C-alpha cells in the first residue's frame, strides 16, 4: 500500500513470478436523476408544445438528458418531425442524402411523359434476335479514324433493311376506319439521354446518304442536343427509331413505341460467346453477338414482317458490310 514493498512482493520477486496486477479504478458512474412524484421530466419548450398540440406529454418517451422529453420528442410524436435513423456507413464515407418531395417536371419531361402515355393504347408486340458483330466491329475500327460513329453505322444498316420492308416504316391512321400511312423518306431517329430528359435527333434520308456524311451529321446533331439548339425538324421528323443502351452494359430490353411510328429497335450490348464451328479444331469458336429487340404496332405490322426485317438487318450487318462502307 502507498508504494511500500511488502513481504509478498519480495516472495514474488524471488520466485520470478510477475507482480500482481493493480486493480483498475472503477469507472465513474453516470449521474442519474429521478423526478419527484408529480414532476414531469420535460423541458419547458416541450411542455408548451405538448399543450399547444393537445397531446399527453406523459405518453411520450423522452430522449433528452436524464430521459427528459424534449421539443423534438413532441414534434416526432405529432408527426411534425421524422425520427432520425441510425445509418451504417463505411469509414470516411459520408451518408448519402436522398432527395425528397415533389419537383415540377420540365417542359421536355412533360413532353416525353405525354408521348409515352399516348402510345399506351397501341397494340404492340416485340421480336428479338442476335446479330454476329465481328465483321461490323472490324468495319467500325476502319472507319472510326474518318469520324464515323457506331450510331451512324447502325442507322445506315437499319435504313437499308427498311428499304426491303417498307411496312416497318409505316404508321397506322384512324382515317376512313383505318389506313396504313407509308412514308417515302427513311428518317432514323436515335434516342439520346440528355440532362433533364430524352430527345431523338434524326438522321434524315439515312438510306440515301454516305456513311461519312451520316457520321458528320450525327456528331452535329448530338452537339445541338446537348446544347439545346436542335430545330424541330431535327428531332420530330423520324419515321423509325433506334434506342441503344449497349454502352451501359444492358444486354437486352424492350423499347416503348413512339407516337406516329410503326417500329422502334432496341440495341443491347455486344458480348463474346462460344458457338459451334465445324471448321474449328475443337468444333467451337468465339464470336461477338449483339441482342436486338424490335417493337412494332400490331395493327399494320405482323410477326412475319418483324422477323423478316430482323433477318435482313442481320444479313446486312453480318454479310453485306460493303453496303455500309459507302
pLDDT per residue as tens digits for the range 93-137: 777 778 888 999 988 889 889 988 888 889 999 999 999 999 999
Separation of CA 286 from chain center: 30
- In terms of Cβ atoms closer than 10 Å to its own Cβ (0-12, 13-18, 19+), residue 230 is buried
Q: Residue 29 pLDDT more than 60?
A: no
Scan for cell 458512474, then name that residue.
29
Residue of higher predicted confidence among 54 and 87: 54
Confidence tier at 293 by pLDDT (50, 70, 90): very high
Scan for cell 384512324, then name that residue.
174
pLDDT at res. 115:
85
pTM reported for the whole predicted model: 0.74
Q: Residue 185 pLDDT more than 90?
A: yes
- Dihedral sign of CA atoms 46, 48, 53, 56 in order: positive
Query: How many alpha carbons lie under 13 Å from residue 43 in its C-beta half-sphere?
Result: 15
Per-residue burial over 97-108, b = 16 or more CB atoms within 10 Å of its CB, e = otherwise: eeeeeeeeeeee
Q: Residue 243 pLDDT more than 90?
A: yes
**Across all residues in the chain, what is the average pLDDT?**
88
- Is 165 annotated in the active site? no
- d(CA 316, CA 118) in angstroms, rounded, equals 33
Residue of higher predicted confidence among 31 and 155: 155
pLDDT at res. 92:
77
Residue of higher predicted confidence among 82 and 165: 165
CB 318, CB 280: distance < 8 Å: no
Q: Residue 28 pLDDT more than 80?
A: no
Q: Residue 79 pLDDT more than 70?
A: yes
At 128-150, the pLDDT tens digits run 999 999 999 999 999 999 999 99
**267: phi then psi, degrees, rounded to nearest 5:** -105, 130
Distances, alpha carbon 151 to alpha carbons 4, 84, 179, 252, in Å: 90, 48, 32, 17
Separation of CA 2 from chain center: 72
- d(CA 302, CA 240) in angstroms, rounded, equals 16
pLDDT at res. 196:
75
Reduce the secondary structure of the chain to three states and give it as a string: CCCCCCHHHHHHHHHCCCCCCCCCCCCCCCCCCCCCCCCCCECHHHHHHHHHHCCCHHHCCCCCHHHCECHHHHHHHHCCCCCCCCCCCCCCCCCCCCCCCCCCCCHHHHHHHHHHHHCCCCCEEEEEEEEECHHHHHHHHHHHHHCCCHHHHHHHHHHHHHHHCHHHHCEEECHHHCEEECCCCCCEEECEEECCEEECCEECCCCCCCHHHHHHHHHHHHHHHHHCCCCHHHCCCCCEEEEECHHHCCCCCCCCCCCCCCEEEEEEEEEEEEEECCCCCCCEEEEEEEEEEEEEECCCCCHHHHHHHHHHHHHHHHHCHHHCCC
Which residues 6+ apart lie within 8 Å of 9 measured at CB? 19
What does the pLDDT average to over 197-215?
Answer: 95
CA angle at 158 for the pair 156 and 163, rounded to the nearest 5°: 95
Q: Residue 21 pLDDT more than 60?
A: no
Scan for cell 486493480, then name that residue.
23
At 259-283, the pLDDT tens digits run 999 999 999 999 999 988 888 888 8
Catalytic pick among 126, 164, 219, 298: 298
pLDDT at res. 2:
56
pLDDT at res. 279:
83
Amino acid at each position: 500500500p502507498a508504494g511500500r514493498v511488502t513481504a509478498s512482493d519480495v516472495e514474488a520477486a524471488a520466485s520470478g513470478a510477475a507482480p500482481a496486477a493493480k486493480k483498475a479504478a472503477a469507472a465513474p458512474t453516470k449521474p442519474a436523476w429521478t423526478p419527484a412524484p408529480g414532476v414531469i421530466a420535460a423541458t419547458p419548450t416541450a411542455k408548451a408544445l405538448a399543450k399547444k398540440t393537445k397531446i399527453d406529454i406523459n405518453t411520450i418517451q423522452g430522449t433528452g438528458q436524464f430521459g427528459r422529453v424534449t421539443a423534438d420528442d413532441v414534434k416526432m410524436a405529432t408527426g411534425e418531425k421524422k425520427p432520425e435513423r441510425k445509418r451504417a456507413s463505411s469509414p470516411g464515407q459520408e451518408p448519402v442524402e436522398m432527395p425528397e418531395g415533389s419537383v415540377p417536371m420540365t417542359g421536355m419531361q412533360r413532353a416525353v411523359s405525354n408521348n409515352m402515355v399516348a402510345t399506351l393504347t397501341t397494340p404492340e408486340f416485340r421480336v428479338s434476335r442476335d446479330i454476329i458483330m465481328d465483321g461490323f466491329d472490324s468495319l467500325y475500327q476502319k472507319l472510326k479514324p474518318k469520324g464515323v460513329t457506331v450510331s451512324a453505322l447502325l442507322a445506315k444498316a437499319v435504313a437499308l433493311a427498311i428499304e426491303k420492308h417498307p411496312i416497318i416504316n409505316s404508321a397506322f391512321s384512324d382515317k376512313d376506319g383505318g389506313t396504313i400511312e407509308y412514308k417515302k423518306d427513311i428518317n432514323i431517329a436515335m434516342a439520346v439521354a440528355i440532362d433533364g430528359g430524352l430527345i431523338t435527333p434524326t438522321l434524315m434520308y439515312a438510306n440515301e446518304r454516305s456513311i461519312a456524311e451520316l457520321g458528320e451529321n450525327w456528331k452535329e446533331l448530338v452537339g445541338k442536343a446537348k446544347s439545346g439548339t436542335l430545330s424541330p425538324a431535327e428531332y420530330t421528323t423520324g419515321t423509325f427509331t433506334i434506342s441503344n443502351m449497349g454502352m451501359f452494359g444492358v444486354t437486352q430490353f424492350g423499347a416503348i413505341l413512339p407516337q406516329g411510328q410503326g417500329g422502334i429497335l432496341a440495341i443491347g450490348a455486344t458480348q463474346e460467346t462460344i458457338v459451334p464451328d465445324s471448321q474449328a479444331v475443337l468444333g467451337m469458336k468465339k464470336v461477338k453477338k449483339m441482342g436486338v429487340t424490335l417493337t412494332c404496332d400490331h395493327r399494320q405490322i405482323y410477326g412475319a414482317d418483324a422477323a423478316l426485317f430482323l433477318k435482313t438487318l442481320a444479313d446486312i450487318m453480318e454479310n453485306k458490310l460493303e453496303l455500309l462502307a459507302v
